[in-house]
């Protein structure tokens, strides 16, 4: 074990999810790829008193490198404490694709992992998820699995259509796999193009409600939940970017879900859009600027402000823990 997550000041998601479900909010899981994003996330959550899951994909881990991911997560805890906040912080592997990958993350300080075997058969998904859960639980790490398939690109595999989670399968799945939370497919999808122009951007909330009756109180996870704010899309276009027909999940659809047994909601794309809009704005309006701090600082501010708004509008997790001074 290179790093034990407890030595980094991190926590697993068990208590976070129990409190979230009891109090009717969802824990934000924001993806990060660099120091600026980590700081924007932790400052926003510390100021709001919201628990947070620092979410890292395998691609992000390859980009940053294993030691950097662990040290950025440790730094996030230090930053929150320095700000006077006691928010719990988890470091979570997003869309883990194998037992070996999940184990490697755990050995490098992750407190929570996802094993996404949702593209396999029901039985194979159970077997793979169970294998990860048994190892992870031996070192007090929590595990998320997925049942159902989101449309769009997921874990480098692309699907034309949603395969919605079948409510009659969830009870058997979580009992046999022994995981701690379950990601479901109810109409969300990854990326900036979640609906076609003219579509009614609605989730299958009736499937969520039925799933909740089958596994009452069990922590449910929603992936692909960016709202794709119009402000960032128009900034990106105004300042020379190209992005067409970008449509996200309306916040009101997600807010209803956050009040239920949905304990974790994943947001990655919105952070990317805020970051890109901020950088483009500076580079387009100040063409002579070449100090990275001059364009990364406003980009970080757009992300931080966005995360805070999302906590208010969707997660409902403000004030669950002590708020840091601004």
Catalytic residues, which ones?
94
Q: Single out the residue of 10, 16, 45, 60 in contact with ligand G3H (rule: CB under 6 A).
A: 60
User: How many CB atoms lie under 10 A from the CB of residue 68?
Assistant: 14
**C-beta of residue 45 within 8 angstroms of C-beta of residue 52:** yes
Size of the site for Zn ion (CB under 5 A): 1
Binding site for ligand 13P (CB under 6 A): 31, 94-95, 190-191, 223-226, 266-270
Q: Single out the residue of 92, 162, 194, 223 in contact with Zn ion (rule: CB under 5 A).
A: 223
Range in contact with ligand G3H (rule: CB under 6 A) among 56-64, 69-77, 140-148, 161-169: 56-64
Considering beta carbons, is residue 95 or 130 the nearer one to ligand 13P?
95
Beta bridge partners of 56: 93
Residue 144 within binding range of ligand G3H, rule CB under 6 A: no
Question: Per-residue x/- marks for ligand G3H, 67-106, CB under 6 A?
Answer: ---------------------------xx-----------
| CB hemisphere CA count around 4 (13 angstroms) | 5
**C-beta of residue 142 within 8 angstroms of C-beta of residue 263:** no
User: How many CB atoms lie under 10 A from the CB of residue 289?
Assistant: 12
Closest CA to 45 of 307, 313, 314, 315: 307
Residue 225 contacts which entry, Zn ion, ligand G3H, ligand 13P, none (Cβ below 5-8 A, type-dependent): ligand 13P
Residue 60 contacts which entry, Zn ion, ligand 13P, ligand G3H, none (Cβ below 5-8 A, type-dependent): ligand G3H
d(CA 13, CA 21): 12
User: How many CB atoms lie under 10 A from the CB of residue 217?
Assistant: 12
Range in contact with Zn ion (rule: CB under 5 A) among 15-23, 222-230, 251-259, 272-280: 222-230
Residue 300 within binding range of Zn ion, rule CB under 5 A: no
| CB hemisphere CA count around 126 (13 angstroms) | 12
Residue 59 contacts which entry, Zn ion, ligand G3H, ligand 13P, none (Cβ below 5-8 A, type-dependent): ligand G3H
d(CA 262, CA 222): 7
Within residues 116-135, the interface with ligand G3H by CB under 6 A covers none
- The helix-helix angle for 269-285 and 35-48 (nearest 10°) equals 110
d(CA 186, CA 179): 20
Helix, coil or strand: residue 181:
strand
Range in contact with ligand G3H (rule: CB under 6 A) among 38-46, 57-65, 104-112, 243-251: 57-65
Residue 65 within binding range of ligand G3H, rule CB under 6 A: no
Positions touching ligand G3H (CB under 6 A) are 31, 57, 59-60, 94-95, 190, 268
Positions touching Zn ion (CB under 5 A) are 223
């Amino acid at each position: 074990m290179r790093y034990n997550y407890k030595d980094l000041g991190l926590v697993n998601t068990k208590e976070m999810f129990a409190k979230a479900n009891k109090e009717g909010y969802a824990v934000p899981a924001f993806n990060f790829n660099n120091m600026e994003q980590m700081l924007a996330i932790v400052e926003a959550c510390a100021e709001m008193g919201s628990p947070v899951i620092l979410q890292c994909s395998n691609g992000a881990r390859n980009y940053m490198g294993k030691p950097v991911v662990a040290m950025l997560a440790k730094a996030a805890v230090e930053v929150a404490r320095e700000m006077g906040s006691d928010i719990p912080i988890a470091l979570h592997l997003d869309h883990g694709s194998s037992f070996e990958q999940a184990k490697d993350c755990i050995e490098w300080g992750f407190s929570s992992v996802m094993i996404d075997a949702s593209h396999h058969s029901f039985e194979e998904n159970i077997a793979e998820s169970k294998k990860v859960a048994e190892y992870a639980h031996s070192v007090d790490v929590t595990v998320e699995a997925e049942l159902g398939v989101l449309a769009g690109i997921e874990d480098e595999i692309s699907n034309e259509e949603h395969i919605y989670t079948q409510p009659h399968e969830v009870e058997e799945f979580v009992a046999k796999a022994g995981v701690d939370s379950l990601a479901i497919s109810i109409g969300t999808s990854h990326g900036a193009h979640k609906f076609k122009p003219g579509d009614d951007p609605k989730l299958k909330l009736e499937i969520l409600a039925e799933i909740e009756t089958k596994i009452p109180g069990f922590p449910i996870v929603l992936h692909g939940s960016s709202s794709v704010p119009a402000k960032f899309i128009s900034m990106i276009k105004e300042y020379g970017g190209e992005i067409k027909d970008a449509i996200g999940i309306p916040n009101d659809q997600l807010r209803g879900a956050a009040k239920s047994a949905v304990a974790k909601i994943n947001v990655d794309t919105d952070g990317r859009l805020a970051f890109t809009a901020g950088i483009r704005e500076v580079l387009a309006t100040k063409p002579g600027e070449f100090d990275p701090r001059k364009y990364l600082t406003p980009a970080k501010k757009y992300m931080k402000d966005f995360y805070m708004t999302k906590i208010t509008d969707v997660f409902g997790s403000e004030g669950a823990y002590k708020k840091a001074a601004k």
